[in-house]
Amino acid sequence: MAKRDILCSAFTMASLFCVATGGAFAQSDDQGGVDELVVTAQKREESAQDVPIAITALSARAIEDQQMLTMESLQGVVPNLYMGQALSGNTTPKMFLRGIGVDNQVFSFDSPIGLYVDGVYRARTTGALSDFFDVERVEMLRGPQGTLYGRNSSVGALNIIHPAPPLDRARVRAEVAVGSVEQRDARLSVGAPLVEGRVGADLSIVRRQNDGWMRNVTTGEQALDEDITALRGALLFNLNDSVSLTLRGDAMWDFSQGAQATLYNPGVFGDDPDNDPYTYEASPESGKVNKVIPWGASAALEADIGSASLTSITAYRRLTFRNANDVDGYAAFRTFEVDRQDLNESQFSQEVFLTGDHIGGAPIQWTSGIFYFHEDNEFYWGLRVLDFILGPPATSHFDQETNSAAIYAQADFPVSERLTGTLGARYTWEEKDFRGEQFLPNGGGLDPSFQFNGVASTYRTTWHAALNYEVTDDAILYINSGTGFRSGGFNGNATTVADITSGAFGPEKTFITELGAKTEWFSRRLRLNVDYYYAEYTDMQQAIVDGNGQVTTSNAQATADGIELELTAVPVDGLEVFGSLGTVNFEFEGSPFGQRDTPETVGRLGAIYTFDIGAEGGSLSFGGDVNYQSTYFFDPVTPDTYVDPVYVYDAHITYETSGEKWRVTLAGYNLTDEYYPNHAFHIGPTGSPIDSLVAHVQFPNLPRRWLLTLGYRY
């Protein structure tokens, strides 16, 4: 039997075991069950179990108990989510959901997974792999969010929500941690009322640092390290009993060095000197630079205006990204290097929406709003390829200005006592103005043959429809269908005008239907949610990075389907069991490529057991989980970039004092030291003369490691 089949059987048996035995363990006790979580997935507060869409919701306590340190921890927790570090650095995620995502974090390619932090849309995910310290909750919505959410949320939306500043009492949370490779972390969050009941403030500071997991065999320089500082602050003004204003600001400075290229199938110029994926070579002349500095500010106004509530969110963000790297795995030859990759980005967004519970006398819950977005990107790109043959590289310079506006509405209406319908629609206009030029090598000025100006416009109406049937107070069945889109554009990785035009791509359209059930059993001792989805992708954007470093695109037609399961159980007081399972099956039309970064099966199974130590001795917790991914690949045209099935085991032990003020946790990650690359590619087109001449490289995952954390809260 294949490992995938074994895992599927294990999850099925685990689910049946909990269903069969939960009643015996729980008796009819309504205490100690699974916590209810209120979400704002549909821009109104409601129980996650009542929302007729596939959604994974995590509370602050669950994030802390399961040792989810950063956004990368969502992999395995969210069914059918692939989350890893992109080549750009430690704080830039590579996200794929149900097989759709962005592998190359170039400014001209938009993510189909909308990222929203405290209601603010973030167009660039560079620097967005944030720390989960002091997060109130996380919501991952699966499927197209083409009605209520902003741009390009065609396969999902990730909402990260921080707590509002306190108005009644001060709060403090602090952590220090030490771990492998001289890991040194410090986190502090302080909140207090400035004017009781009227004005509150909070401030969070995070510092992460370690000495790195990779070593340059020539110079001894370290890489795959952390050097990150982040700040977040907020002010809350209760202007009166019906109007509040929240001002937020955040900034991050990331000077980490991400994973470096190491040879796995070398060319004739050399081989891996020690067969160790955590050592690397780099040309002494190459400059290794990584600097990621995102910052932003927002103002959220909330007001009750009679029969409706109004929310206005105004936000401005900036991103500075500097990156240069030697990615060919050789020290003696400058065969393939990123000489320069500089991005200056700014965005402004404005959203205003109304929500209400009635239309006239009818009990119809509704939301209606408008959204505006403006973004400027300036990007410099220089790629050195075989400079001893081709000479030093030119530098491409691109500017892209994006304007987008939308109007939307959605309503939930009763069809019968237990049946509720949902209808929603959104109209979006978007335009991208793209300009390109190129500077000749060695200060030679502008290349007169390299001039490009183009405009890509998109006009789309997307919709959402659902039926939600309440079988019992603890179980609903739902069916929903909807559409989404990802806007088109031009190739921002081009080194010739021909690359720009041949790499242009049209908008990607998504249609998905879901059938699902959300259930709770045995006085909320068991929560079991399951859904089946079927997706049709028209003009699906496949950004393929070839061996020359160029990005080509293919607008393919594809269908995909799969199942998703989420399980949480408290069979006895003190024991929590949790798990997830996701499958995806792609079928393509008109494309020779498969779908990268997409395991056919992903799953997670874990448990936490907590027991008290005497009357005032506090509590002790033991927890662990295993994450599984079936085979997947990074490059659809090169079979040896396939990754074998992966099992990753994590575990932790926590002591918490009575009153929950002090907490000590010893955690271990990747306990079996499982190795798998986060990325791999060929340098040189497969089968070409330089394919065997140069190299095939990979970028390693984090190995086995430990972390000891001391925490305090007040």
- What does the mean pLDDT of the chain come to? 87
C-alpha–C-alpha distance, residues 558 and 538, integer Å: 7
> Is residue 303 within 8 Å of 310, Cβ to Cβ?
yes
Instruction: Answer left, alpha or beta for residue 134, where phi above 0 means left and psi between -120 and 50 means alpha.
Output: left
Q: Is the pLDDT of residue 688 over 90?
A: no
Lowest mean pLDDT among 142-151, 491-500, 607-616: 491-500
Closest CA to 607 of 551, 649, 666, 638: 649
> What is the per-residue pLDDT across 205-232, written as a single tens digit (0 to 9) for each?
999 999 999 999 888 999 999 999 999 9
> What is the per-residue pLDDT across 355-370, written as a single tens digit (0 to 9) for each?
999 998 899 999 999 9
362 residue type, one letter: A
The neighbour count for residue 481, using CB atoms within 10 Å, is 16
Q: Is the pLDDT of residue 339 over 90?
A: no
Q: Identify the pLDDT of residue 6.
A: 40
C-alpha–C-alpha distance, residues 561 and 583, integer Å: 8
Lowest mean pLDDT among 184-198, 275-289, 507-521: 275-289
> Is residue 403 within 8 Å of 371, Cβ to Cβ?
no
Instruction: State the residue for tokens 């010739």.
Output: 496
3-state DSSP helix/strand/coil percent for the chain, to nearest 5? 10, 55, 35
417-447 burial, b at 16+ Cβ within 10 Å, e below that, comes to eeebbbebbbebebebebbbbbbeeeeeeeb
C-alpha–C-alpha distance, residues 140 and 143, integer Å: 10
Q: Identify the pLDDT of residue 268.
A: 47
Q: Identify the pLDDT of residue 593.
A: 63
Query: Which has the higher per-residue pLDDT, 176 or 446?
Result: 176
Task: Tell me what the mean pLDDT of segment 344-348 comes to.
Answer: 97
Q: Is the pLDDT of residue 373 over 80?
A: yes
Closest CA to 84 of 68, 100, 69, 71: 71
Task: Tell me what the mean pLDDT of segment 525-546 comes to.
Answer: 85
Lowest mean pLDDT among 467-481, 526-540, 634-648: 634-648
Query: Which has the higher per-residue pLDDT, 271 or 463?
Result: 463
Q: Identify the pLDDT of residue 711.
A: 96
DSSP per position, 499-545: HHHHT-B--EEEEEEEEEEEEEETTTTEEEEEEEEEEEEEEEEEEEE
C-alpha–C-alpha distance, residues 86 and 77, integer Å: 19
Query: Which has the higher per-residue pLDDT, 690 or 395?
Result: 395
pTM equals: 0.91
> Is residue 434 within 8 Å of 400, Cβ to Cβ?
yes
Paired sense of beta strands 662-669 and 222-223, if any: unpaired
Is residue 553 classed as helix, strand or coil in its secondary structure?
strand
Q: Is the pLDDT of residue 314 over 50?
A: yes
Alpha carbon 587 to its chain centroid, in Å, reads 25
Q: Identify the pLDDT of residue 168.
A: 94
Strand partners, 202: 191, 234
Closest CA to 157 of 34, 248, 74, 62: 74
Q: Is the pLDDT of residue 16 over 70?
A: no
DSSP per position, 239-279: -SSSEEEEEEEEEEEE-------EESS--TT---SSS-TTE
Q: Is the pLDDT of residue 97 over 90?
A: yes
Range 3-713 has CATH code 3.90.79.10: no
Q: Is the pLDDT of residue 400 over 70?
A: yes
Lowest mean pLDDT among 68-77, 279-288, 572-581: 279-288
C-alpha–C-alpha distance, residues 191 and 574, integer Å: 31
What's the distance, Cα to Cα, between the start and end of the chain in Å?
A: 52
Q: How confident is the model at residue 592 (pLDDT cuts 50, 70, 90)?
A: low
Lowest mean pLDDT among 159-168, 386-395, 415-424: 386-395
Strand partners, 138: 58, 160
